[in-house]
Amino acid sequence: MLELTVEQISMGQGAVDKSAALQLLAQQLVADGLVAEGYLSGLQAREAQGSTFLGQGIAIPHGTPETRDQVFATGVRLLQFPHGVDWGDGQIVYLAIGIAAKSDEHLRLLQLLTRALGETDLGQALRRATSADALLKLLQGAPQELALDAQMIGLGVSADDFEELVWRGARLLRQADCVSNGFAAVLQQVDALPLGDGLWWLHSEQTVKRPGLAFVTPDKPMRYLGQPLNGLFCLASLGEAHQALLERLCALLIEGRGQELGRATSRRAVLEVLGGELPADWPSARIALANAHGLHARPAKALAQLAKGFDGEIRVRIVDGQGGAVSVKSLSKLLSLGARRGQELEFVAEPGIADDALPALLAAVQAGLGEDVEPLPAVSARLEALEVEPPISAPLSGSLIQAIPAAPGIAIGPAHLQVLQPFDYPLRGESANAERERLSTALREVRRDIQGLVERSTSKAIREIFITHQEMLDDPELTDEVDTRLKQGESAEAAWMSVIEAAAKQQASLQDTLLAERAADLRDIGRRVLAQLCGVQPPQEPSEPYILVMEEVGPSDVARLDPARVAGILTARGGATAHSAIVARALGIPALVGAGPAVLLLASGTPLLLDGQRGRLHVDADAATLQRATQERDNREQRLQAAAAQRHEPALTRDGHAVEVFANIGESAGVALAVEQGAEGIGLLRTELIFMAHPQAPDEATQEAEYRRVLDGLGGRPLLVRTLDVGGDKPLPYWPIAKEENPFLGVRGIRLTLQRPPIMEAQLRALLRSADGRPLRIMFPMVGSVDEWRAARDMTERLRLEIPVADLQLGIMIEVPSAALLAPVLAKEVDFFSIGTNDLTQYTLAIDRGHPTLSAQADGLHPAVLQLIDITVRAAHAHGKWVGVCGELAADPLAVPVLVGLGVDELSVSARSIPEVKARVREFSLSEARSLAQQALAVGSPAQVRALVEAV
């Protein structure tokens, strides 16, 4: 996020002309490590395409798309030119803001910057500023606009008294981030002002972050201090931002139009009356923006110039966007929209000019506003693409389908399909009261249902998912909006679904992946309530244990399962290392994923036989196959029972070679189960899960306490901790990371933490402090070069001087092919390697580990992956170092002898897999395993490797 700081500002600069100014700016950006030398030519090329003069004495030089690869880090540098620099066309620049940005962040920077600048003429003030502080204040102190849009209006909200209505108004301001949490309490202390016509006014400056006005009306007639209460304004006041609005409101009251506000049934009507939005009857036209980098300065300038040619008001807004409409004639306002490629723009023009202006604007946007644009894929083209997909049909009786093995075990049972069905419902309702009643009954039912799930869940993480669902159901924002629609005559189903869908869309559009994923939860509860309203019962669960068939299983779906009823899981999409597969394994339910869309056409009740180890699905298998499978399943049951009985014994091959079996966990709560299942230590503590469980980065003390709990639970067994592995596709909500085209190839793991030393140091300090003489092993994720390892090691060693630790080993995860290939060099310096086969497989085979169709081929038993493991082990052993495997491959019964044969010393798996993995080790001798491994290295496909193991 753009933050302007005094360090970025250089005061009192001089430049004879624009070219000299650009040169100065480029020097500064290079010196600060933001860009490469060649960026200057990008700045010049950009100016040659069109001046970056923004107005008010400010220019915003930046590179062209072609020079983006010269940007190392996003940032800005500001140069003040008190004597001015001629930027062409007689425009004089007193402040040049040089932007280094890799992609769309550029637009975000401009949006924030122009919002800060507002419309006032700052040029002379910027010129006269004598300190960086003063200049910064000018930029930051520019008047802020009053926030007033549809989100700030709540009509017919349920409230029993004045206090509750105040609370509702304050909540809208809080949600718009205008105020801090305590604002509701502040307003309760303020004397309300009656405006007449049943309207009331409250305002305060306390805890205000930015000015905003909320307006709420109650759902039933109300009185306050003996007078009617039809509507309440709550103002978060800051400076003069609300002045114009207040004047309009006074004029309105004098004209006797106050009642229009109290009686308004649509938020748009309120905005029109208050003058915040244009009259609804002004002509409008929409078009999707196709410019690759959105509405950045150059196309925005072209648009503003075109609009200025029309004598009348023209505004534009982003359809589905959060902000209101802005004047098309104002460049800074256009930039403040932050419109991106693919977003739809709506132009609204005064009736007198609309016939000419709207077609001209649409044509200009379509032509690219001076840029070459790649047309957006047309809806019809997308439909055509869908139509050419070959038709699919349900798998026939007796067929065998190969899918991705996701959790071992054999399951036999009838198919039970849980596939989303379209619902049919009327759009208009009987009466608002009747529809409200139906909705509240449905909500009550669903709430009760979810409460049952909360009570049944034994895991904290799973319980929290359902508690979030309950909170979503109880969110007054949602119910208020639905109520407004019910009053307008919509049916409960239509009102509920359109509000849920709008909220989900808004959530999904958030940059932050984790928050955006919450959209799925919203849609989930949306459908539950809809099913209840439509009287659609979920398909009857078969009485015997069944095989659940779904398109894709989210972790929360798995969490909802009753392992006693669900014999197996089969999905059309998904990959073996997807988190849902990991959860299925943790619950011990055999699972196959990525079986293809045809399985969704199976009739409910079709007998299925699922082999979660070999990745096979038999549809309506013949008696002999069933007989064999049943036998195998029973044998497996017995083997597991025997394995469980010996879970605390060491894992020794038949010829006495010891293999350590450790557990993978994500939080201290997992230690007890791991030890109970026979873990000889923790082989992977995924610390990012601890970070993800907190709303902001846990401080050193919190982390130390958590790591101590893990060590305490281990009773002297070793703990292998992986430092924070976030970034890329696993962002932390409180760590904004620039959007990347290929997050798996981007700034993740050690690359990210090395860029943020304070966070990494805090984690290391917490770890070292927690050790207290107990065996601690620290490893770094995603290391791809010797330099990265050395930087991480040096940081740790430096901290170790402050916090001595008796029994510490430092190592790296081998997850990137370059690390495996460099193992002979790295092995001299590290204490150990731990191979993360999930990532190592995806990077070796160039297959996204979660890819819906390809991940079936992302098999860690691929000979290419085995070659890399072989290199790693040989290098480590040559230097007397040990090697573990902590990816999912370590728990694959077919992979265990191969890994042991390659010389792997330790296997780290989920707690429930420990007894089975130990038992598997006891089944072969080291010499057999070695010869198997050598054969595996010599074949050409994972299928051949699996066949070799099965033949033994």
User: What residues make contact with ligand PEP under the rule CB under 6 A?
Assistant: 684, 686, 725, 815, 836-839, 886-887
Q: Cβ of 635: how many Cβ atoms within 10 Å?
A: 11
Pick between residue 815 and residue 831 the one whose CB is nearest to ligand PEP. 815
CB of 178 to Mg ion, least distance (A): 41
Cβ proximity to Mg ion, 22 vs 779, nearer residue: 779
Q: Could you say which of 106, 242, 296, 469 is catalytic? A: 296
If the CB atoms of residues 238 and 737 are measured against ligand PEP, the closer one turns out to be: 737
Cα 92 off chain centre by: 43
Going by DSSP bridges, is the β-strand pair 651-652/199-204 parallel, antiparallel, or unpaired? unpaired
Q: How far is the CB of 850 from Mg ion (least distance, A)?
A: 12
Cβ closer to ligand PEP: 625 or 867?
Answer: 867
- Does residue 242 have an active-site annotation? no
Query: 926-938 vs 863-878: helix axis angle to the nearest 10?
Result: 130
Told to judge if 579 belongs to the known catalytic residues of this protein, a careful annotator would answer: yes
Q: Are 149 and 136 in contact (CB under 8 A)?
A: no
Q: In 10 A of CB 229, how many CB atoms?
A: 22
Please report how close the Cβ of residue 839 comes to Mg ion at its closest, in angstroms.
4
Coil, strand or helix: which one is 159? coil
Closest residue to Mg ion using C-beta atoms: 839
Determine the interface stretch with Mg ion among 318-326, 382-390, 829-837, 860-868 (rule: CB under 5 A). Answer: 829-837
- 62 annotated active-site: yes
- 740 token code pair: 């990347």
Size of the site for Mg ion (CB under 5 A): 3
- Degrees, nearest 5: CA angle 541-546-552: 90
> Shortest gap between Cβ of 665 and ligand PEP (angstroms)?
12
Q: From Mg ion, ligand PEP, none, which one binds at residue 837 (CB under 5 to 8 Å depending on kind)?
A: ligand PEP
Span of 344-352, 377-385, 412-420, 807-815 interacting with Mg ion by CB under 5 A:
807-815
- Alpha-carbon radius of gyration of the chain: 32
Task: Write down the residue that tokens 């009760």 correspond to.
Answer: 448
Integer CA distances (angstroms), 164 to 261, 483, 834, 842, in order: 19, 17, 57, 54
Q: Counting contacts by CB under 5 A, is residue 219 touching Mg ion? A: no
- Other Cβ atoms less than 10 A from the Cβ of 454: the count is 15
Stretch that binds Mg ion, among 103-111, 294-302, 328-336, 828-836 (CB under 5 A): 828-836
Tell me the CA distances in angstroms from 763 to 193, 329, 667, one per residue in order: 53, 51, 15
Contact 566, 545 (CB under 8 A): yes
Q: What is the smallest separation between the CB atom of 298 and ligand PEP, expressed in angstroms?
A: 41
Q: Which is nearer to ligand PEP, 668 or 838 (CB)?
A: 838
Partner from ligand PEP, Mg ion, none contacting 897, C-beta within 5 to 8 A by type: none
Phi, psi of 703 (to 5 degrees): -65, -45
**Cβ nearer to ligand PEP, comparing 439 with 684:** 684
Residue 137 and residue 131: Cα distance in Å, rounded? 10
Nearest Cα residue to 837 out of 881, 916, 914, 896: 896
* Residue 830 C-beta: closest distance to Mg ion, Å: 17
Structural tokens at position 871: 């290199």
Q: Are 497 and 530 in contact (CB under 8 A)?
A: yes
Residue whose CB is less far from ligand PEP, 675 or 909: 909
Residues 884, 905: contact at Cβ < 8 Å? yes
Of 108 and 912, the one with the shorter C-beta distance to ligand PEP is 912
Q: How far is the CB of 782 from Mg ion (least distance, A)?
A: 7
x-or-dash string of contact with Mg ion, 838-877, rule CB under 5 A: -x--------------------------------------
296 vs 777, beta carbon nearer ligand PEP: 777
User: Distance between CA atoms of 87 and 18, rounded to whole angstroms?
Assistant: 6
706 interacts with, out of ligand PEP, Mg ion, none, CB within 5 to 8 A per kind: none
Of 62, 106, 416, 618, which is the active-site residue? Answer: 62
345 binds, among ligand PEP, Mg ion, none (CB under 5 to 8 A by kind): none
Backbone angles phi, psi at 149, to 5 degrees: -145, -175
Closest separation in Å from C-beta 813 to Mg ion: 7
DSSP letter string, 706-750: HHHHHHHHHTT--EEEE----BTTB--TTS-----SSGGGSSBTH
- Structure token digits, residue 659: 């293999």
Partner from Mg ion, ligand PEP, none binding residue 686, C-beta < 5-8 Å depending on class: ligand PEP
Of positions 836, 852, 884, 915, contacts Mg ion by CB under 5 A: 836
| 293 included as an active-site residue | no
Shortest Å distance, C-beta 249 to ligand PEP:
56
What value, to the nearest 5°, has the Cα angle with vertex 325 and ends 323 and 330?
A: 110
- For binding to Mg ion (CB under 5 A), which residues are involved? 815, 836, 839
Residues serving a catalytic function are: 62, 296, 579, 886
